[in-house]
Structure formats: structure tokens, C-alpha cells
Amino acid sequence: MEILSPASNMEHIKVAIDSKANAVYGGLKKWNARNKAINFTNEEYNILIQELHKNNIKFFLTLNILMLDDEIEEVIGFLKQNSLPDAFIVTDVGLIRELHENFPDIPLHFSTQFGVHNIDDVNYIKSLNGKRAILSRELTLSEINNIRKSTDIELECFIWGSQCLSFSGLCFFGTLINGGGGNRGKCIITCRDIYSINNNKGHYLYVPDMDCINLKSKLEGIDCLKLEGRRRNPKEIKDILERINNDIPSIKTNGYLLGTSIKENNLYEKINTRTKPFMKARNLKNINDNDICLKYKNNIPICFSKDYSHSDVMYIYTELKKDYDINKKNISLDLVIEDNIVQEILYMNYKGDGKTFFANKENLIEINFDNFINLIESRNSNINIYKIKYRRINDKKILINSIVYNKLVKYILQDCKNKEYTKINNNLKLTSIYLDTIDLSVIDKFITDDFVKIIYDISTINNLKNIEKIINKYGDKIIYKLPMFNWQSENLEPYLSLLENKEIMFTRFTQIYLCNSIKFKKKYVDYTIYVWNKNTLKYLKDNGIREFTASPELSYETNKNIFKNNNMQVIIGGKLPLVYTRNCFNHLFSCNSCKNSQRNIKKIKNYDKNLDFEVLCNDDFRYILNKNPILNDYSKVSLTNNTTFRYSAIGQSLDIIEKAINCFKKENLYQELKKIDFWKNAYECNLMEGKE
């Protein structure tokens, strides 16, 4: 059984060698899903491969993000001029095809970001010349063992490290609220913010780290056990490797391997235990609401507290924060302060990119955060500094090197400089719209409306099993969107065959592979089938896809360049799932039964950013939605003739949907929509400036 160790710097490499890991994985300064890790320079990359090979250790190169066309060219060009790894860790279908064509002897390991959660996914990977499937972290032990029994392909699974709230590869928590995206390695970990439910605060969406080292003996059929941790301290990785090598058990086992119930898997903590207190709050003067304080009981954090004078309250850090403005370029600063002098500043921009500024103790000036914020925002009104976090030691003035301060100001203004766009007003008038819904009553309402083309989101396997009733009622008048998840690897062929000669929308690449022998009237793909480059587009066209949903993570111009003369469906408005999660939130909302509460919208507020979110449930997963809908103004862009529009009606009442459809039929549709309460706080999502 191979033990795979993480690495983003040469210290990690030394740890892997000293601890006799079998293999190491890591990435370069770009092209991987840990953008904020240190990552390797080109020179280090070539050296580390030599060093690892001297010690009979393999190196796997992480290329596990979605890629644009020019990035694929860069990757292939780099690899032709440098050392080749022992395997590529990949997720983008376009890149996968290029890698296999150019380097057929280098194994392809399909990343957890690819979303491998059943035997169909594994078989699909095999058809794409994949040698190894890195299984989703959301799988249980029994599900993993069932896959192992059914395939001869190599399997790899995580055994320790960070555990995401969202299903692997399907997190839009960053990009769809104008922040950084996990699909580009720029996650801004919105899930780890403080949330409130009924005014009670906690890390309600934070998922504690996985620790399944105790289950090693139950994973004997797995080819490789993987540790997460490219952003962790090398000493921490060394300790874990020693525990694995010497069979030292963990105190507690955490992770989905134990099951999907919070009671079984220990994947819930009201307070994030990674947050370490620094001092007793009662020892500080002038504690205020910007100070983050925790109340403890028996050394266990139990709640956020305003009773700062109590002996069990610990002070953690100070924040200056404002509301996160989803219509602006939101940036944050995290300061390291020693003796009241700024030592480091970690800057994170609105795309999730980070840069660290280091300061010394020379040329010191006092920093006034209010003045600093006013200075930046007065020079660019589209910038919103929503958070400055630091450790306040006492009430003395905070000092900073003047040269570094000026560099920071200059860098922020340049980094967030507004792009120049050609102003267009194309008097948008829709002739039709796609309506995406999970609600049969919505279909009944609009089935005879010629303006509306309905996409029925089948949503769950259980709904698919009842698809014959839906087909008998609606026939070929609607588009059938396939459910995303099939956790139990159930045989879906009998149900999919019933959709023959119907219009169908795929939500995952594997579905296209499964349905290659079924003839459909027309094939669509949803935006969860990522088309970020022309190579992926060609692959889909070769498989009979005729209409594509443009990625809402990219700008319209970028999508237009990808799709050219192909039919492109774009999201004009509505709510889109930010997160698909296997977590059940019964412990937070005290649901009486899943069946009776699935359609109930459960409310949760992001306390750190002052944003409201909603939770919706079904049989297979939970959605997290933004309370405010997206509304993209396509009158501002130069449209192609092959562009069609889609309205996502998830989480909306029939009354709201009906009013929206009436507005979409009008010439001044944006002005009309803004008159409705539901749309008044709508925001634009990456229409002009996407993640490219």
C-alpha cells in the first residue's frame, strides 16, 4: 500500500524522504488546486524529482484545476522542456486528452476534484486512459469497498487532512459570490466563516479535519493512502507519517469513511478547533465587538462570548470588518504583529489570489486602519476592504515600515484596477427563455407557454426511478436534467432508457459515457460539465452534444471565445447552488423528518460577511444557495446569435417565478425585475470579469 505525502516546499520533500514515504505530490506556482500554498519554482521542480528518485520515491505533479486554452498550451510546453513526473494528477478533460496524446507513458491519476464517487465514474476514467482514480472524500468505507470489488484500476483515497463541506469539484461558494473559486485553486473558504442561526453564532459550515488512520487496516484493498496538507507545517506532516509507519493510533477517528451521519463521523464542531486562543480576554483593556472571543468550559470552546471579563473567555484576534459587497471587488488583509510592529501582511484579492508583504522595523510610521481604508476606497470606489484581521497585543499604536505601507497601497490599487470595457447597449429583448426547476407545479404552470422551454431537474435517483410517470405526463415537451449523484452505484440503465428520443441534459461527464448507446432527440450539458477550453468542447461535440451551458464562473467574452459558433446557454438570473454537500444539517435545524422538510428553506447568516444563505434538502444531498439572486445584464455585452438564456428557479415560490417570467417577456426587463422585492438586491456574477 503506497503512502502519498503532500509537498509545496523543499522542507516537505525532506520530510517525505526522512519518513520513507512511497510517493509525493505537489504543484508548481500555478496550474494546481492549492494556489495559496508556497508551491515549487521550475528549478525546484527539476531538483526535487532527482532527489526523490535517488531515494526511490515517486513524484506526482498536480495539474488539478480547470484550464483555459492558453494554459493547456503552457503546461504542455513546460513539460516538453523539463523533467517528467511519475504521474499527472488531473481533472480537466481537455488537458487530460492533451497529456495522453503528448506523454502517453506517464500515468493519469484522476483527482478527487473530478468527482469519483461510484463504479461508473471509475469505469469512465478507465475509458479515458486513466490508471488511477482518487476517490471522493465524501465516500463511506462500504462504498469504497464496493468500488474496489468491481474494478481492477488503481484506487487512491484520503486518510488524513482537510475535509471540504462541498462535494469535491462542485464548490461555487467563492466564484458565484464574486470571490475565489476552488476549481482554480483559489478557495476563500467561505464555509469556515462564523455563521449565525437564530442569532446563535458558530462555525456551522466548518467541517473538522479527517483522521482515518485508525481505519488503515480496513483499506487494505486500496492501492494508495493520501495525506492532505500542502499548506501545513512540515513538522505536522512528519508526525502523521511517523504515526502511520509505526501504527500509532489516533485518539479519535473523523471522516466520511465512518458514515454520512454527523453522530457517526465526528464531522461537526460548533467552534473551529483550529482557531487557537492567544490570551485571557480579561487581561486586555477596551475589548469591543471587533474582538473575537470564545467562552470555554473544561478547556473546550463552547460559544462566542461578549462577556469579556469572565475567567473562561479567551481573546483570539481583532477584526475591522464591513459587509462583504458582492457587487464590488472585496479584499482582505491578515496582519502578523510583534511588539506592535507589523511583520507580515497577507493580502487576498477578490479573485482569491494572495500576496505576502514582509516588513522590517525600520522607517516606522503609525498605521490607522480607518484612514488606510478611506485612502484605498477613495481612489477606486469599486474596491471594498471588508476585513482586516490582526492580533492586538495591547492598546499601543500599531506601526509599519513606511516603504512596505506605500508598496501595499500601490499594489492594491494596481491589482484591483478597473478593466476598460466597450460600452454597449443592445436593447436586449428575449424571444424565449429556459426555465430550470425541480418543482412539478412550476412545469404545470408554464408547460403551455411558448415563451418558456422547461428544464426539469430530476435532482435525485429516487425521482429518476419515478421518471416513467413524469414522461407519461409531459412527454417530449420538456428537457430532462439528470441527477448528479449516484452514491450507491445503482444500475440506472432501465430508467435512462425510458428517456430515449427525449431531450436530455447531462450534469456529469460519466452520464454521457453511460448513455452512449441511447439515442436522444437532443443532448445538452449543464455548467457542472465544465467546458473551459476548445479541447473539451470538441470531445463533447464528438459525443453528440449540441447545446452547452456556459460556465457562470467565467466572463461572457471568455465563454464566447470558447464556444464560437456553437449553441451557448447562459444564466441570466435566479439562484444557483453555491455548494452541493453530503452533510445533513438536522443537528442545526432540528428537522422532524427529511421527507416533510425537504422543501422548507432553512436560513443561515454568514456573520463574518453579513450575507444571508439558504439550505435546501433532497434525498441525496443538500444545496446551499445565496438568498439574493444573480441577475446578469446581457444588454452590456456584444451577443452572438447562438446565445440563449436561462432562468434558474430553484428555491423560489410559484408567485415569484410567474412575476419574473412576465418581466423577461418585456423590453425593459431589468428595470421591471428590479421593481419586485425578490430582485431588488440581485447581483451580477462574473458577466464582465470572470476568473480568467
Domain architecture of the chain: domains with CATH: 2-163+209-260 (3.20.20.70), 275-321 (no CATH), 322-418 (no CATH), 433-575+630-679 (3.20.20)
Which pLDDT score is estimated for 349?
92
Residue 186, judged by CB atoms within 10 A of its CB (0-12, 13-18, 19+), counts as: buried
Is 246 a residue whose pLDDT tops 70? yes
Helix and strand numbers (H, E) in the chain are 21, 34
pLDDT-based confidence at 357, cuts 50/70/90?
Answer: very high
Is 134 a residue whose pLDDT tops 90? yes
- Alpha-carbon distance of 494 to 646, in angstroms, equals 30
pLDDT-based confidence at 334, cuts 50/70/90?
Answer: very high
Cα 29-33-36 angle, rounded to 5 deg: 55
- Alpha-carbon distance of 177 to 194, in angstroms, equals 17
Percent of the chain with pLDDT over 90: 78
Of 173, 122, 170, the closest CA to residue 146 belongs to 122
Percent of the chain with pLDDT over 70: 97
Phi, psi of 639 (to 5 degrees): -85, 150
Which pLDDT score is estimated for 676?
97
Q: Interhelix angle for 402-415 vs 369-379, to 10°? A: 30
| Ramachandran bin of 185, using left for φ above 0, alpha for ψ from -120 to 50, beta for the remaining angles | left
Which pLDDT score is estimated for 377?
96
The cell numbers describing 690, all together, are 470572470
Q: What is the DSSP string of 390-457?
A: E---SSSPPEEEHHHHHHHHHHHHHHTPPPP----------S-EEEEES-HHHHHHHTT-TTEEEEEE
In this predicted model, what pLDDT tens digit does every residue of 651-688 receive, in sequence order?
Answer: 999 999 999 999 999 999 999 999 999 999 999 999 98
pLDDT-based confidence at 298, cuts 50/70/90?
Answer: confident
Asked if 533 contacts 72 with a C-beta cutoff of 8 angstroms, the reply is: yes
Phi, psi of 588 (to 5 degrees): -100, -35
Cα 96-100-101 angle, rounded to 5 deg: 115
The cell numbers describing 32, all together, are 494546481
In this predicted model, what pLDDT tens digit does every residue of 446-464 receive, in sequence order?
Answer: 999 999 999 999 999 999 9
Residues linked to residue 24 through DSSP beta bridges, in sequence order: 5, 59
Helices (H), 170-246: 234-245
Is 353 a residue whose pLDDT tops 90? no
Q: What is the mean pLDDT of residues 395-419?
A: 93
Is 33 a residue whose pLDDT tops 80? no
pLDDT-based confidence at 159, cuts 50/70/90?
Answer: very high
Phi, psi of 494 (to 5 degrees): -60, -35
Asked if 290 contacts 321 with a C-beta cutoff of 8 angstroms, the reply is: yes
Q: What is the mean pLDDT of residues 153-160?
A: 97
Q: What is the DSSP string of 346-379?
A: EEE-TTS-EEEEE--SSSEEE--HHHHHHHHHHH
- Alpha-carbon distance of 165 to 318, in angstroms, equals 26
Of residues 419 and 556, the one with the higher pLDDT is 556
Is 282 a residue whose pLDDT tops 90? no
In this predicted model, what pLDDT tens digit does every residue of 109-124 receive, in sequence order?
Answer: 999 999 999 999 999 9
The cell numbers describing 426, all together, are 443592445
Residues linked to residue 301 through DSSP beta bridges, in sequence order: 296
Element (H, E) at 658: helix 654-664
Q: 254: which DSSP letter?
A: B
Residue with cell 405526463: 473
Long-range CB pairs of 149-152 (<8 Å, 24+ gap) are 150/119, 150/122, 150/489, 151/119, 151/122, 151/123, 151/126
Q: What is the mean pLDDT of residues 255-263?
A: 92
Which pLDDT score is estimated for 692?
47
In this predicted model, what pLDDT tens digit does every residue of 62-103 receive, in sequence order?
Answer: 999 999 999 999 999 999 999 999 999 999 999 999 999 999
Which pLDDT score is estimated for 117?
92
pLDDT-based confidence at 41, cuts 50/70/90?
Answer: confident
Of 230, 197, 292, 235, the closest CA to residue 606 belongs to 197
With helix as H, strand as E and coil as C, how does 538-591 read?
HHHHHCCCCEEECCCCCCHHHHHHHHCCCEEEEEEEEECEEEEECCCCHHHHCC
- Alpha-carbon distance of 59 to 22, in angstroms, equals 9
- Alpha-carbon distance of 271 to 634, in angstroms, equals 42
Give all strands (DSSP E) within 194-236, no chain letters: 195-197, 200-202, 210-211, 224-227
Which pLDDT score is estimated for 38?
66
Which pLDDT score is estimated for 188?
84
The cell numbers describing 577, all together, are 447552488
pLDDT-based confidence at 422, cuts 50/70/90?
Answer: confident
The cell numbers describing 482, all together, are 439528470
Give all strands (DSSP E) within 199-339, no chain letters: 200-202, 210-211, 224-227, 279-280, 291-297, 300-304, 313-321, 329-338
Q: What is the DSSP string of 2-37?
A: EEEEE-SSHHHHHHHHHTT-SEEEE-BSSSSS-TTS
Is 689 a residue whose pLDDT tops 80? no
Average the pLDDT over each of 8-22, 273-287, 294-308, 624-638 and give the range with the smallest value: 273-287
Of 655, 676, 670, the closest CA to residue 572 belongs to 670
Average the pLDDT over each of 14-18, 32-36, 568-572 and give the range with the smallest value: 32-36
Q: Interhelix angle for 10-18 vs 42-54, to 10°? A: 10
Asked if 620 contacts 460 with a C-beta cutoff of 8 angstroms, the reply is: yes
Write down the mean pLDDT value for the chain.
92
Cα 494-498-499 angle, rounded to 5 deg: 125
Which whole-number Å values give the CA distances from 405 to 317, 377, 409, in the listed order? Answer: 21, 16, 6
- Alpha-carbon distance of 269 to 596, in angstroms, equals 26
Which pLDDT score is estimated for 126?
97
The cell numbers describing 534, all together, are 476548445
- Alpha-carbon distance of 352 to 369, in angstroms, equals 22
- Alpha-carbon distance of 334 to 114, in angstroms, equals 32
pTM of the model: 0.95
Q: What is the DSSP string of 131-149?
A: SEEE--TT--HHHHHHHHH
Q: What is the mean pLDDT of residues 562-577?
A: 96
Which pLDDT score is estimated for 277?
77
Residues linked to residue 300 through DSSP beta bridges, in sequence order: 297
